[in-house]
Amino acid sequence: MFRITKEFHFSASHQLSHLPDDHQCARLHGHNYVVVVELAAPELNADGFVRDYHELAALKTYIDESFDHRHLNDVLSLPSTAENMARHFYQWCHERWPEVSAVKVSETPKTWAEYRPEVQQ
């Protein structure tokens, strides 16, 4: 199996108001997010790629226009957790690139969530 990844960055604020008042994420705060998209294929295409990295620029455009320097509570319909964002970005990518196998969203260098659907056997 061949795998490629590409990393994207954006800054945004959010607030998880469903948490108790004493939880730090219940307060308005922001992160410098990192989104890592992984694509996988058992064989390479005719050009020798899983997918040309250049095609993934569409995700950067989407992130820049819809998420960067925004309040995520205004952008997402679900709570703006890293887990929900990983699934959101996975679904967006999968509509365009069926080779997407996982998306990881980091809120800090030490915390991240990954969405990787189970393969049905």
Say if CB 33 and CB 9 are below 8 A apart. Answer: yes
Known catalytic membership, residue 114? no
Specify whether 65 is catalytic.
no
How far apart are alpha carbons 27 and 19 in whole angstroms?
9
Burial class (CB in 10 A: 0-12, 13-18, 19+), 2: middle
Active-site hit among 9, 23, 69, 71: 69
| Catalytic pick among 25, 83, 94, 114 | 25
* Residue of 95, 107, 114, 118 marked active site: 107
Catalytic residue flag (residue 107):
yes
Active site residue ranges: 25, 69, 107
